[in-house]
Amino acid sequence: MLSGKHILLIIGGGIAAYKSLELIRRLQDKGARVTPVLTRAGEEFVTPLSVSALAGTAVHRDLFDLTAEAEMGHIQLSRSADLLVVAPATADLMAKMAQGHANDLASTLLLATDTPILLAPAMNVRMWQHPATRRNLAQLMGDGVQVVGPDEGGMACGEFGPGRLAEPDEIVRAIAAYFDAGPLAGKRIVVTSGPTHEPIDPVRYIANRSSGAQGTAVARALRALGAEVVFVTGPATVPPPEGVEVVPVETAREMAAAVDAALPADAAVFAAAVADWRVTSAGDRKLKKSKDGLPTLDFAENPDILKGVAQRQTGRPALVVGFAAETNDVIEHATAKRLRKGCDWIVANDVSPATGIMGGQENSVTVISDSGAEAWPRMAKEAVAEKLARKIADALAAPKPVT
């Protein structure tokens, strides 16, 4: 999972610096490339030779190292990495970062970069708990810097408490989690999928042919980009994706209640094939054949879940996406549907039998938004899901228009 990733590892001065050697090893074992930077104080604890021998590359030490400047330059050095990791991050380095100092190579790299930064602090417990460090930490976290540790335990100075550098494995996990996070990290997305079953009596029901394949693929793709997904699914034939919160439901009304309970969310994608009607005469007794004639079923309209969420006055997700399965005049019908329902996008497809889309592996969709209709080429349902998930990630990342 770290394969091919380039980590710029800044080793600060502290007794825990020796653990950074182990960290280099573990990162390399996972396939990462590590470029080490050693601060002056760091050199007191580990030698440049051991760091560069382990990293298999020269260790950067000096801001005014002209050879390095000519070859690369400190600005480029800080930006060529996928992630900057500071381990150990001393109280002094954190203070410099919080204040924006740039008076040595490490602090200059940290200030010059637009690459995300992960800190693994390590210091004496009193230094960690000092209001100045607390202030600096809050400032850095507010600036978007990520932090792993410190752990609690006995320290080299004989004191006990929080301040120990996180173990190398824990730091590797934090780094891996960062790369796993994806553009939808921190975003909560509700996805409906599958058919609904509307009971006629305790043993019979009205259903439809939805397999749940497209909704499942969308949920999986959103999860793969780091979203927290609540997957509200009717009785589908394909299994739900891994890593999502699965809320199984049967009827449209249960689905509506589950969606309501899952909000607030940043986005909602309605891929379920929801029954438009339910049988109001469904009781708890099985209908019997009778010589008095055929049974009559009474129907009531089901709640339109998509419309209800899209038209919420409060707590509406920033992005509401519906699907529209049409058999003719797809764009025209789906465009009207988008307006009628009040959703942001409609993913429309032609499900007329000749297309082979219903129950098939592929889909050919047109995404309709207020900026028009975007026709996507025919592709596997998984590929449609991945393209849609990327589009959702882009939309949620874009700054909100000022209204």
Q: Which is nearer to ligand C5P, 78 or 349 (CB)?
A: 349
Collapse the DSSP code of 342 into the 3-class scheme (helix H, G, I; strand E, B; otherwise coil) and give the result: coil
Q: Does 231 bind ligand C5P (CB under 6 A)?
A: no
Which one of the listed residues 1, 53, 138, 157 is annotated catalytic?
A: 157
Q: Which two tokens stand for residue 220?
A: 């999986």
Please identify which residue in 118, 145, 244, 252 interacts with ligand C5P, judged by CB under 6 A. Answer: 252
The stretch near ligand C5P (CB under 6 A) out of 111-119, 126-134, 277-285, 298-306 is 298-306
Strands (DSSP E) contained in 314-383 are 319-326, 345-350, 362-363, 365-369, 372-375, 379-380
Single-letter code of the amino acid located at 277: W
Neighbouring CB atoms inside 10 A of 343's CB total 26
Q: Residue 322, interface with ligand C5P (CB under 6 A)?
A: yes
Judged by DSSP in three states, 117 sits in strand
- The alpha carbon of residue 9 and the mean position of all alpha carbons in its chain are separated, in whole angstroms, by 25
CB of 275 to ligand C5P, least distance (A): 7
Residue 343 among the catalytic residues:
no
- Choosing from 98, 305, 358, 365, the residue that interacts with ligand C5P (CB under 6 A) is 305
Binding status of residue 211 toward ligand C5P by CB under 6 A = no
Work out whether 178 is an interface residue with ligand C5P (CB under 6 A). Answer: no
Q: Which is nearer to ligand C5P, 7 or 255 (CB)?
A: 255
Shortest gap between Cβ of 323 and ligand C5P (angstroms)?
4
In the structure encoding, which two tokens stand for residue 212, read together? 């749940």
- Confirm or reject binding of residue 367 to ligand C5P (CB under 6 A): no
Regarding 274 and contact with ligand C5P (CB under 6 A), the answer is: yes
Where are any strands of DSSP class E within 27-180?
Answer: 33-38, 83-89, 117-121, 146-147, 151-154, 160-164
Nearest distance in Å: CB 394, ligand C5P: 21
Rounded to whole angstroms, the Cα distance separating 400 from 395 reads 9
DSSP characters over 64-120: T-HHHHHHT-HHHHHHSSSEEEEEEE-HHHHHHHHHT--SSHHHHHHHH--S-EEEE
Of 126 and 340, the one with the shorter C-beta distance to ligand C5P is 340
Tell me whether residue 54 or residue 256 sits nearer to ligand C5P (CB atom). Answer: 256
Q: Which residues pair with 277 in a beta bridge?
A: 301
Q: φ, ψ for residue 318 (rounded to 5)? A: -60, -30
Kindly state the number of chain residues that form the binding site for ligand C5P, as judged by CB under 6 A.
12
- Site for ligand C5P, rule CB under 6 A: 192, 252, 270, 272, 274, 302, 304-306, 322-324
Active site residues: 157
